[in-house]
Chains A and B, each alone.
Chain A
Amino acid sequence: MRITESFSLALKNIASSKVRTLLTMLGIIIGVAAVIVIVGLGNGLENYIADSFSSMGTNTLTVTVQSRGATRTMEVEDMYEIVEAHPQELELCSPTVSMMGGVKIGSETASASVSGVSEDYNDIYGYAIAQGRGLQYSDVASRAKVCVIGAYVNQAYFGGKAVGQTLRVGGQALSIVGVLEQREDSMNEGGSDDCLYLPYSTAARLGGSRVSSYVVTMVDEERIEQSQAVLEQALTDFFGSDDYYTIITMSELLDTMTGMINILVGVLAGIAAISLVVGGIGIMNIMLVSVTERTREIGVRKSLGAKERTIMEQFVIEAAVTSALGGLIGIALGYLLSAAATAVVARLMGEALAVAPTLFAVVMAFGISAGIGVLFGYLPAKKAARLNPIDALHYD
């Protein structure tokens, strides 16, 4: 008897008891769908993070200095000197001074994130000016009371006509000299368009603190390691030790985040995979019942010349086909749920996070479900094959 005949026999048997087959497959369906959605979610999250990181610039190095305890303190000029001393590796530099809250527009309090930066900041991140002008060297040098705002602030508080108006940061009035171009598809409070940039010198005076953080761009994105090494060496030389600074690259940060997401997805997918095992046990259970129910059929088949191997094959294939069919339905369900999840995320969070099932996950899910069928179908099939034909013929 050929293997194709065993398959058509299995399909016939499955088709003859649809409800039972569906119930048998349920565990596999749920397990496969869950694995696909979870892996798709992780995949979507990874893409989303990679996208947001690339918009933040992957050719940047973020330097934080902790001068406390060091024999030398680092002034902004020292950092500029270091960058200028390595033109083959390092290009632009901007101090970054983050300020917490305190934006007042008229009598309203705004949530915009406030950063003190240099005139090069827009070039570093590729931000374009929509109205007015960007920050200039003279603003920094003179600690001018000016600022550039994000498109959201312009839209939400000034009706799109912010240039020339004033707002207050930390009690200091600043005049708005420019508006940045919109960066996100849809603007939200707290989003990247809800921002405000002022000269770092002004910010440092307002905050009463020394500049301790810088963003530096590399000449060549492909040479991250060399560029980072050069900067590290220069900073170590400056401080006479490597204890007083840290350098973070965006790609490092991305790797760390991706690694964490992968661990999370792995754990969740593992939990979902348990339901595949439970599904397999369900299949085994039903196959054992089926062998008992079909004892007489097995006896008849044996009396007509079926060998143990043939009977075995019939039951294993039936289990495998049931399980693989469940896998296919699970894949379809997984895709459906992924599409639904993408839509829900888009509505709830206004973010374009696509839950994208990977081909690998789909192939794996199918393979594993078929494998589970074979594995858990083996025992019942063995039982069927071993039946004594005489006893089986008289079973009722």
Chain B
Amino acid sequence: MAALVTFQDVCKYYHMGDSTVVAADHISFEIERGEFTAIVGSSGSGKSTCMNIIGCLDVPSEGTYFLSGQDVGQMNKNQLAEVRNEMLGFIFQQYNLLPKLNLLENVEIPLMYAGVPRGERRERALAALEQVGLGDKLRHKPMELSGGQQQRVSIARALVGKPAVILADEPTGALDSRTGREVLSMLQDLHSSGHTVVLITHDNSIAVQAQRIIRLEDGHVVYDGPADAPEAVVTPRAADMRGREHT
């Protein structure tokens, strides 16, 4: 059986007037079902580009991306929307909950687009919110919650459709370190209960919480291996230099 996520020489170009930015340059990797992978790299290295492609929000300029054996590059907008709905769960840095809806309604959205009947939708949303420990705040609006709680709601929303891949883009970026750790341990729990989790971060200390690290630099994969190997967290020279220039 093919891997869940397969990148084959994926390239992404952005045309800015006359110049072309190469955001992803022949990236290839595979992610198996049940893996907990961190895609890590410094700013501008191409993490968001990869995440957009994995999340079917964007398609490669060149190369192919197979999600569960299907070639995403060949899909039309409707098919992409269906795949996002059925196969993917997003967790964003800014939570992106809809402020006018209560927690239950927020979590129900993916099910609504999937055409799940009202009663079942309620039940599943309720179960997902209970799973993240917010079963007592169903009727609250997102603004009445702390950042960490809001991020837990967005985890519930990502979970509720039983997606094949959970994509988390800097999920701890807006949180203090303690709530950040809580959210991370929640992702680890998801992983241990069998979910496939892809974590995008610029922070090595967060990336090492994953099972596997894919390190990007200038649109290239510079490391792909276990998170606990010493090479995984070695800060590449170039990034080091750049960091020093700024200080």
Contacts and interface: CB of A to CB of B under 8 A. Distances in A.
Contact of B115 (A1, A303, A306): A1
A296 B95 CA distance: 12
Given A303-B55, A305-B81, A307-B81, A393 B92 contact: yes
A307 B96 CA distance: 18
Contacts of B81: 302, 305-308
Nearest to A15: B100
Contacts of A54: none
B84 interface: yes
Contacts of A309: 78
Given A2-B115, A390-B58, A296 B100 contact: no
A301 B98 CA distance: 9
Chain A binding site: helix, strand, loop or mixed by DSSP?
helix
Contacts of B52: 390
B57 interface: yes
B112 interface: yes
Given A296-B96, A307-B78, A307-B81, A301 B109 contact: yes
Interface in A211-228: none
Contacts of B77: 307-308
Contact of A305 (B96, B98, B110): B110
A393 B100 contact: no
Contacts of B85: 304-305
Interface in A1-52: 1-2, 5, 12-13, 16
B224 interface: no
A147 B168 CA distance: 104
B145 interface: no
Contact of B98 (A297, A307, A308): A297
B122 to A, nearest CB: 13
A330 B234 CA distance: 70
A12 B100 contact: yes
B100 A306 contact: no
Nearest to B78: A307
A305 B82 contact: yes
Given A297-B98, A304-B157, A5 B112 contact: yes
Interface string B39-75: 0000000000000100101100000000000000000
Contacts of A305: 81-82, 84-86, 110, 113-114, 161
Given A301-B113, A304-B90, A310-B113, 15 more contacts: A1-B112, A300-B96, A301-B109, A302-B81, A303-B57, A303-B96, A304-B84, A304-B110, A305-B113, A306-B113, A307-B78, A307-B81, A308-B78, A393-B57, A393-B96
Interface pairs A-B: 6 shortest CB-CB = A305-B85, A305-B113, A307-B81, A300-B96, A304-B110, A305-B84
29 contacts: A1-B112, A1-B113, A1-B115, A2-B115, A12-B100, A16-B100, A299-B96, A300-B96, A301-B109, A302-B57, A302-B84, A303-B55, A303-B57, A303-B90, A303-B96, A304-B90, A304-B113, A305-B81, A305-B84, A305-B110, A305-B113, A305-B114, A306-B81, A307-B77, A307-B81, A308-B78, A309-B78, A310-B113, A390-B52
